[in-house]
């Protein structure tokens, strides 16, 4: 399976970047992770890096081949964040969202898991097949019919999470793909933080994807869209994305074994 990967991570209008992302691959598996930290005073960036490191290390030790295995890796990452909350005052209240994607080159399958409002989108033939559903107040309002889905991006409570790593296991909500899905040549996956999807409508995701010749060009177009739509908000959030394009060529794995914080 031929794959191309591109990464975008920008500070936005904030004082520092609390997003973290990375990927790891072997001859058979690819694992991609995106995280968006919160907590202030440097705690958020620490939490997001811990989540990425934990998931990549855990996957490398035992690649997840079922949704339940992916769930356990995210739960393990939650423990990593919680274990470091006592390291200093900056980390006492740190949390992070997380979303992970796992692809099996041999079986040509994919699965994913997430907690919070960092998202995974799956595209086929340039159109969104599915996306993860946020663990957030506005997602609950939309699911309950109290607001329209398109209102989620501008709702005043859009940043209020119902789940994130750094909380007690019994309060943590983790969602996974319902099953392991077959990947077809030409499928595209996008992992991104809310700082990106808040400013990019689904139709624009599809339009820019169709118009782009490679994943880096697509992320460049998404970056331009965020900067244009956030121009009136000088303190807009960090924004990050990781794109995985599957190709039609001969079997090939991504160059390099690991990229992370």
| Tens-place pLDDT, residues 149-204 | 777 777 666 677 888 999 999 999 999 999 999 999 999 999 999 999 999 999 99
pLDDT of residue 246: 96
Residues forming beta bridges with residue 111, ordered by sequence position: 102
Backbone angles phi, psi at 248, to 5 degrees: -105, 5
Which pair of structure tokens corresponds to residue 164?
């994130």
Residue pair 16/42 in contact by the 8 Å Cβ criterion: yes
Take residue 130 and report the two structure tokens written for it: 């599915």
Specify the 3-state DSSP secondary structure of 260. Answer: coil
The Cα–Cα gap between 61 and 51 comes to: 15
Mean pLDDT of 59-72: 98
Share of the chain above pLDDT 90, in %: 70
* pLDDT exceeds cutoff 50 at 24: yes
pTM of structure = 0.90
Q: Packing angle between helix 202-211 and helix 215-229, nearest 10 degrees?
A: 140
The C-alpha R_g of the chain, in whole angstroms, comes to 17
Residue 84 vs residues 22, 37, 93, 136, 240: alpha-carbon distances, Å: 20, 14, 10, 24, 24
Percent of the chain at pLDDT above 70?
89
pLDDT band, very low/low/confident/very high, at 90 (cuts 50, 70, 90): low
Average pLDDT along the chain: 89
Rounded distance between C-alpha atoms, residue 88 and residue 218, angstroms: 39
Average pLDDT over residues 13-20: 88
Q: Which domains does the chain have, with CATH numbers?
A: 3-249 (3.60.40.10)
Q: How far apart are CA 204 and CA 76, in angstroms?
A: 35
Distance (Å) of CA 28 to CA 13, 15, 24, 42, 64: 39, 39, 11, 36, 12
49-54 mean pLDDT: 97
Confidence at 257, pLDDT banded by 50, 70, 90: very low
Task: Let me know: does 63 contact 73? Beta carbons within 8 Å.
Answer: no
Q: How far is CA 155 from CA 80, 142, 226, in A?
A: 32, 11, 17
Residue 250 is predicted with a pLDDT of: 38
Q: Is pLDDT of 205 > 70?
A: yes
């Amino acid at each position: 399976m031929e794959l191309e990967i591109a990464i975008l991570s920008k500070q936005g209008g904030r004082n520092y970047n609390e997003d973290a992302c990375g990927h790891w691959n072997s001859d058979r598996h690819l694992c991609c992770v995106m995280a968006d930290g919160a907590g202030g005073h440097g705690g958020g960036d620490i939490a997001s890096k811990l989540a990425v490191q934990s998931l990549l290390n855990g996957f490398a030790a035992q690649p997840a081949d079922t949704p339940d295995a992916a769930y356990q890796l995210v739960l393990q990452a939650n423990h990593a964040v919680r274990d470091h909350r006592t390291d200093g005052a900056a980390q006492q209240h740190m949390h992070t969202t997380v979303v992970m994607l796992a692809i099996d080159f041999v079986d040509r399958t994919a699965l994913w898991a997430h907690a919070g409002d960092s998202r995974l989108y799956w595209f086929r033939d340039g159109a969104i097949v599915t996306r993860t559903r946020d663990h957030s107040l506005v997602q609950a309002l939309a699911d309950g019919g109290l607001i329209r889905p398109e209102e989620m991006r501008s709702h005043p409570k859009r940043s209020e999470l119902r789940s994130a790593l750094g909380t007690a296991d019994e309060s943590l909500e983790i969602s996974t793909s319902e099953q392991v899905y077959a990947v077809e040549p030409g499928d595209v996956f996008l992992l991104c933080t809310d700082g990106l999807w808040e400013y990019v409508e689904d139709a624009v995701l599809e339009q820019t994807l169709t118009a782009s010749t490679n994943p880096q060009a697509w992320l460049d177009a998404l970056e331009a869209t965020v900067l244009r739509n956030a121009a009136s908000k000088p303190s807009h959030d960090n924004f990050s994305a990781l794109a995985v394009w599957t190709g039609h060529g001969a079997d090939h794995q991504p160059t390099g074994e690991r990229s992370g914080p």
